[in-house]
């Protein structure tokens, strides 16, 4: 009414719709609707369906019935599932640490003055740009039991006497897929940390140098603390991507040998789509949620603005 | 505390030489200000003394030791940066204690030194705060505290007051000077503000385009500028320059302006009769008296303490400052005569004082 009054003279013949569109709440709801629909259809519905399927014994071509926690209880006794959980955690922890260490190192190198800086930075991003399946196939060849370029080179150098079976033995395969994942993940970490490094004013390092800090001490006391907000963001993303990785494993090993590289995502796919047991596969996928939630909570607290980032309180 | 000797120091960035051989000798406990317009090489010189820039030629020695190849951390100097360069993730206490911690100083020593510095600078109430929670002036003090705690041989200041507002700048200026009188540590201070240089320095080094134009005490530079640049740079409002011709009669000489006005100069001017010269008079050295320059008043600026007049004489606009209130209005005619012995004569070709 107040809005109507502010128009001064009421416009004749505008009708009910015009009146409704003048309502702030309704208008706000209308503007929100497209985004809400997209979220509902493409996010909430699949997620809800997945959770629901986890509580049923649905198979491909046969609608299931509600079975409660049966899927989850049977997973607890499932050796392959437990191996997949171990593999996923091992894969995520080792790959994330390696990506952080190497990414930071690369970022520090790229932050120096050097010729062809822009070109080098673009090249660094390449592994990130190439489609995962494409790079996985390249790694597949690198790891091939008979045609591996790595084995061939090491043989020629006289360092080994027989070809390495990269993907044929459990631990060799685990390490091989981690190396491929790290190679793919470094650019994201490096470029993001580089952006963070560039926000640290050079005078900070100069002051520390005059205060008597060595290179290591500058890294420890200046670079890392000032980079910590960005490290929290980039490592959260890195952990989430690694934990849910599917393409690389599926292309390289399909979870083999003897399930040694099965991650929860690949196992879920194998059980649900290849094996047709949608309910069980969905349960495995849903079982990833607590882990992911933990990672997100960790980052939530990590991401909280530190006290030194706050403005003055007086 | 130590002497700082700068001998023939040069600096090139690639092909471009920006500092062309500078010689300055700074005594123990002296407060020396490097002043000049931006791009004159004063900051570069300071950074070479600090060790943040390499030295392309010549020597710098601190306390008798040539430090050309000594890393900054071993030069025993402390620097206050223009943006303060406080560590944002450390409290005031940690900022000040950082250098001592890196040197593995005793905890009790650190505590005592920080407390002492905080007492001097009035920072005791802020030790647990982060830099973001401080005002500009407080940050400035923390930056100085960080330097004081070190008890270094030399303090270096790189335009430390230029981020402060005008009132705070004047206050901090006095504080820094008082601090120096108390600690008596050799200090080198870079600024582009000649008022800062005049008020703080024991000696001023005026630089331009990578060379030293003149070195001397503030009053030396004010009373006896070596050339047109120094004369125009030191003093506020700046010295008036009026072109004219020299007229000699025996030992005595006078200048004649374009409109025929003659001003007596006395003896000892090293120029020939008829030479073209530029003569300079400081705004505060004018008196209203007959026999001076005739002109018309353009603008009057009363500041309360002084009155600043802008007038056009002999085709040149000049500025005059009177400490009494003058009863003129714009457009009035005025006659301005220089005080006895207050006229500087320069060679317009090379700018040298004659």
The secondary structure of B184-225 as a DSSP string is --EEEEEES-HHHHHHH-SEEEEEETTEEEEEE-HHHHHHS-
> CA B124 to CA B107: how far, in whole Å?
18
Do the beta carbons of residue B15 and residue B33 sit within 8 Å?
no
Q: B20-57 as b/e, with b when 16 or more CB fall inside 10 Å?
A: bebebebeeebbbbbbbeeebbbbbbbbbbbbbbebee
Determine what percent of chain A is predicted with pLDDT higher than 70: 91
Average pLDDT over residues B319-333: 87
What single-letter DSSP state applies at residue A56? B
Do the beta carbons of residue B265 and residue B345 sit within 8 Å?
yes
Nearest to B102 among A204, A213, A310 (CB): A213
Contacts of B78 in chain A (CB under 8 A): 210
Query: For the ranges A12-21, A77-86, B258-267, which has the lowest average pLDDT?
Result: A12-21
Nearest to A308 among B82, B88, B146 (CB): B88
What is the predicted pLDDT for the residue at A304? 66
Determine what percent of chain B is predicted with pLDDT higher than 70: 99
Distances (CA, A) of A75 to A12, A88, A260, A264: 69, 15, 17, 12
Residue that the structure tokens 């926690």 belong to: A69
Contacts of B77 in chain A (CB under 8 A): 210
What is the predicted pLDDT for the residue at A312? 40
Query: Which residues, other chains included, contact B99 with Cβ-Cβ below 8 Å and sequence gap of 6+?
Result: A211, A212, B78, B146, B149, B150
Strands B154-158 and B343-346: unpaired
> CA A286 to CA A298: how far, in whole Å?
19
Distances (CA, A) of A171 to A91, A136, B66, B256: 11, 19, 59, 99
Report pTM.
0.79
> CA B294 to CA B314: how far, in whole Å?
8
Contacts of B90 in chain A (CB under 8 A): 308
The CATH code for residues A70-305 is 1.10.3720.10
Shortest CA gap B132–chain A (Å): 5
What is the predicted pLDDT for the residue at A6? 46
Instruction: Give tens-digit pLDDT for B46-100.
Output: 999 999 999 998 899 998 889 999 999 888 899 999 888 999 989 999 999 999 9
CA nearest B296: which of B279, B322, B324, B315?
B315
Residue B259: how many CB atoms within 10 A of its CB? 12
> CA A282 to CA A267: how far, in whole Å?
10
Shortest CA gap A114–chain B (Å): 15
Q: Contact B88/A221, CB-based, under 8 Å?
A: no
Nearest C-alpha in B relative to A215? B73
Kindly give the interhelix angle for A278-303 and A45-54, rounded to the nearest 10 degrees. 120
Average pLDDT over residues A154-161: 83
Residue that the structure tokens 């520390």 belong to: A208
Nearest to A206 among B78, B85, B88 (CB): B85
Do the beta carbons of residue B6 and residue B50 sit within 8 Å?
no
> CA B29 to CA A110: how far, in whole Å?
43
Torsion, Cα of A139, A140, A141, A145 (10° steps): 130
B233: pLDDT strictly greater than 50? yes
Nearest to A312 among B83, B87, B132 (CB): B132
Query: Which tokens sit at A253?
Result: 């090993």
> CA A158 to CA A152: how far, in whole Å?
10
Shortest CA gap B329–chain A (Å): 49
What is the predicted pLDDT for the residue at A2? 43
What is the interface size between A and B, counted as CB pairs within 8 Å?
A: 76
Q: Is A9 left (phi over 0), alpha (psi -120 to 50) or beta?
A: beta
Measured over the CA atoms of residue A271, residue A277, residue A282 and residue A288, the dihedral's sign is negative
CA R_g for chain B: 24
Residue that the structure tokens 């006290």 belong to: A307
Instruction: Give tens-digit pLDDT for B169-227.
Output: 898 899 899 989 988 999 999 999 999 999 999 999 999 999 999 999 999 999 999 99
Nearest C-alpha in B relative to A217? B102
Nearest to A209 among B72, B146, B150 (CB): B72
Q: Contact B77/A221, CB-based, under 8 Å?
A: no
> CA A243 to CA A234: how far, in whole Å?
14
What is the predicted pLDDT for the residue at A1? 41
Shortest CA gap A192–chain B (Å): 20
Per the DSSP assignment, residues forming a β-bridge with B190 are B34, B158
Output the furthest CA–CA distance in chain B (Å, rounded): 77
Instruction: Give tens-digit pLDDT for B140-154.
Output: 889 989 998 988 999
Residue that the structure tokens 């303090």 belong to: B155
Query: Which residues, other chains included, contact A46 with Cβ-Cβ below 8 Å and sequence gap of 6+?
Result: none
Best A196, A212, A215, A231 member to test B by mutation, with max B CBs in 10 Å, is A212
Distances (CA, A) of A217 to A168, A199, A208, A223, A271: 44, 19, 9, 9, 51
> CA A60 to CA A275: how far, in whole Å?
9
Instruction: Give tens-digit pLDDT for B93-144.
Output: 999 999 999 988 889 999 999 998 898 888 888 898 899 888 888 898 899 8
Do the beta carbons of residue A212 and residue B99 sit within 8 Å?
yes
Query: Which residues, other chains included, contact A113 with Cβ-Cβ below 8 Å and sequence gap of 6+?
Result: none
Q: Domains in chain B, start-ordered, CATH in brackets?
A: 4-233 (3.40.50.300), 240-346 (2.40.50.140)
Instruction: Give tens-digit pLDDT for B284-313.
Output: 999 888 778 888 999 999 988 899 999 998
Contacts of A217 in chain B (CB under 8 A): 102
Average pLDDT over residues A114-122: 83
Nearest to A211 among B52, B102, B130 (CB): B102
> CA B203 to CA B276: how far, in whole Å?
33
A313: pLDDT strictly greater than 50? no
Distances (CA, A) of B140 to A201, B121, B180, B217, B223: 17, 10, 15, 27, 33
The residue ranges of every structural domain in chain A are: 13-54, 70-305
**What are the residue ranges of helices labelled H in chain A?**
2-6, 15-21, 24-39, 45-54, 70-76, 79-110, 117-124, 126-129, 132-142, 149-156, 170-197, 202-210, 215-218, 224-243, 247-252, 264-269, 278-303
> CA A283 to CA A53: how far, in whole Å?
7
Residue B354: how many CB atoms within 10 A of its CB? 17
What is the predicted pLDDT for the residue at A120? 85
Q: Contact A308/B89, CB-based, under 8 Å?
A: yes
Q: Is A305 on the interface with B (CB under 8 A)?
A: no
A253: pLDDT strictly greater than 50? yes
What is the predicted pLDDT for the residue at B217? 93
**pLDDT interval class at A98 (50, 70, 90):** very high
Contacts of A214 in chain B (CB under 8 A): 73
Strands B343-346 and B333-338: unpaired
Q: What is the mean pLDDT of chain B?
A: 89
Q: What are phi and psi of B72, to 5 degrees?
A: -50, -40
Do the beta carbons of residue B246 and residue B255 sit within 8 Å?
yes
Residue A198: how many CB atoms within 10 A of its CB? 11
Distances (CA, A) of B166 to B134, B173, B196, B270: 18, 11, 12, 42
Strands ordered across the beta sheet of B16-26:
B16-26, B4-13, B57-62, B65-66
A79: pLDDT strictly greater than 50? yes
CA nearest B338: which of B283, B278, B277, B267?
B283
Query: Which residues, other chains included, contact A31 with Cβ-Cβ below 8 Å and sequence gap of 6+?
Result: none
């Amino acid at each position: 009414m107040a809005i109507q009054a502010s128009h001064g003279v009421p416009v004749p013949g505008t009708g009910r719709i015009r009146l409704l569109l003048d309502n702030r709440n309704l208008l706000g709801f209308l503007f929100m609707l497209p985004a809400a629909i997209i979220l509902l259809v493409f996010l909430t519905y699949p997620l809800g369906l997945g959770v629901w399927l986890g509580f049923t014994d649905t198979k491909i071509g046969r609608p299931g019935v509600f079975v409660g926690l049966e899927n989850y209880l049977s997973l607890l006794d499932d050796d392959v599932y437990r191996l997949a959980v171990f593999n996923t955690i091992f894969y995520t922890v080792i790959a994330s640490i390696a990506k952080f260490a190497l990414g930071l190192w690369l970022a520090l190198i790229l932050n120096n003055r050097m010729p062809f800086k822009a070109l080098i930075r673009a090249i660094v991003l390449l592994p990130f740009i190439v489609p995962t399946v494409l790079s996985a196939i390249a790694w597949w060849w690198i790891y091939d039991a008979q045609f591996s370029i790595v084995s061939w080179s090491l043989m020629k150098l006289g360092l080994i006497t027989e070809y390495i079976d990269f993907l044929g033995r459990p631990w060799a395969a685990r390490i091989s897929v981690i190396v491929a994942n790290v190679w793919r993940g470094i650019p994201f970490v490096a470029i993001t940390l580089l952006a963070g490094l560039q926000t640290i004013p050079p005078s900070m390092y100069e002051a520390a140098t005059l205060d008597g800090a060595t290179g290591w001490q500058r890294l420890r006391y200046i670079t890392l603390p000032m980079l910590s907000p960005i490290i929290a963001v980039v490592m959260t993303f890195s952990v989430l991507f690694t934990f849910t990785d599917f393409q690389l494993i599926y292309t390289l090993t399909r979870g083999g040998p003897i399930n040694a590289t099965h991650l929860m995502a690949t196992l879920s796919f194998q059980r649900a789509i290849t094996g047709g047991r949608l309910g069980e596969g969905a349960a495995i996928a849903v079982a990833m949620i607590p882990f992911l939630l933990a990672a997100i909570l960790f980052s939530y607290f990590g991401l909280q603005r530190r006290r030194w980032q706050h403005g003055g309180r007086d | 505390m130590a002497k700082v000797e700068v001998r023939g120091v040069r600096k090139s960035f690639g092909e471009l030489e920006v500092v062309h051989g500078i010689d300055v000798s700074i005594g123990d406990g002296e407060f020396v200000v490097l002043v000049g317009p931006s791009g004159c090489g004063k900051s570069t010189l300071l950074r070479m003394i600090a060790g943040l820039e390499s030295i392309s030629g010549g020597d710098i020695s601190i306390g008798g030791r040539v430090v050309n190849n000594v890393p900054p951390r071993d030069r025993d100097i402390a620097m206050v940066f223009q943006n303060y360069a406080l560590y944002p993730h450390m409290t005031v206490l940690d900022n000040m204690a950082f250098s001592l911690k890196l040197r593995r100083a005793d905890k009790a020593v650190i505590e005592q030194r920080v407390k002492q510095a905080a007492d001097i600078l009035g920072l005791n109430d802020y030790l647990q705060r982060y830099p973001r929670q401080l005002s500009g002036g407080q940050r400035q003090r923390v930056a100085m505290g960080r330097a004081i705690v070190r008890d270094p041989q030399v303090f270096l200041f790189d335009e430390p007051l230029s981020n402060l507002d005008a009132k705070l700048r004047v206050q901090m200026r006095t504080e820094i000077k008082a601090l120096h009188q108390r600690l008596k540590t050799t200090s080198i201070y870079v600024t582009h503000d000649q008022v800062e240089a005049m008020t703080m320095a024991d000696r001023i080094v005026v630089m331009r385009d990578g060379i030293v134009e003149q070195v001397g005490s503030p009053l030396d530079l004010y009373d006896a500028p070596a050339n047109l640049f120094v004369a125009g740079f030191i003093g506020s409002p700046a010295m008036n320059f009026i072109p004219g011709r020299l007229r000699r009669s025996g030992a005595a000489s006078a200048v004649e302006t374009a409109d025929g006005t003659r001003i007596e100069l006395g003896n000892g001017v090293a120029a020939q009769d008829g030479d073209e010269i530029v003569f300079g008079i400081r705004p505060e050295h004018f008196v209203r008296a007959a026999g001076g320059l005739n002109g018309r008043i353009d603008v009057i600026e009363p500041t309360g303490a002084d009155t600043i007049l802008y007038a056009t004489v002999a085709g040149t606009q000049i500025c005059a400052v009177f400490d009494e209130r003058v009863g003129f209005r714009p457009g009035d005619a005025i006659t301005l005569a220089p005080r006895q012995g207050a006229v500087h004569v320069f060679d317009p070709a090379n700018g040298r004082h004659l």
